[in-house]
Amino acid sequence: MFTGIIEEIGTVKQLVPGRVSYKLTVSADKVIEGTKVGDSISTNGICLTVTSVSSGSFEADVMAETVRRTSFSSFRTGTRVNLERALTLSSRLGGHIVSGHIDGTGKITDMTREDNAVWVTVETGPGLLRYMIEKGSVALDGVSLTLAYVDDSCFKVSVIPHTGEETVLLTKKPGDLLNIECDLIGKYVEKLLMTEAAPDKETPGKAAIDMKFLAENGFI
């Protein structure tokens, strides 16, 4: 789990392709402090398992599913990436709950400055927009942001100067792809509230969790 508060900007040092996968090496300083093999590091929002740590860099394996689901195919040697170590129980949750499991991508269609902030408009499909609400949360390339506008074809966020300085978001341009992770809680709520849900077949006698069940048990 992550918070979406970026700790450091790293740089892709090496990409070694397999048949449909990659071995990735990222140059970094802060996020490798205390990091060991098997730990997780969010890299542009993608949860990657560290396979090797050395002075000034870490390595991770990137499987084919990750390549298909994310903007990883746009990575090149020298690409700058947002980095965050996994959340600890003693950390402040300054952003929101981020799993590092990307739901899909969106394309930047506009970037407009308004005083000290920059409005970023992102176009994506209905399968992701259904989980977005105005003033809700979204993770873009691993950055926790507040949704300021949502319609049936796009959404907008406003990036403050600190976020712009501490992440790679404002180095992007219209046409670039962003990794999108929608609100985790919203996805679970939708699953639990499916009105067509059938009784739990694996547990005889256990009722399905639907609107009727929640009402009968005082949740709504």
pLDDT in tens, 158-178: 999 999 999 999 999 999 999
The two counts, helices (H) then strands (E), for the chain are: 5, 12
Burial of 176: CB neighbours in 10 Å, binned 0-12, 13-18, 19+: middle
For the chain, the structural domain boundaries read 8-85, 104-187, 188-220
pLDDT in tens, 94-144: 889 999 999 999 999 999 999 999 999 999 999 999 999 999 999 999 999
The two domains 8-85 and 104-187 share their CATH topology (first three levels equal):
yes
Tokens 């300083």, located at residue: 29
Residue 199 has pLDDT above 60, yes or no: no
Topology classification of domain 104-187: Elongation Factor Tu (Ef-tu); domain 3 (2.40.30)
Distance, in Å, from the CA atom of 95 to the CA atom of 169, rounded to the nearest integer, reads 16
R_g of the chain, CA atoms, integer Å: 19
CATH code linked to domain 8-85? 2.40.30.20
Alpha carbon 132 to its chain centroid, in Å, reads: 14
Neighbouring C-beta atoms of residue 181, cutoff 10 Å? 31
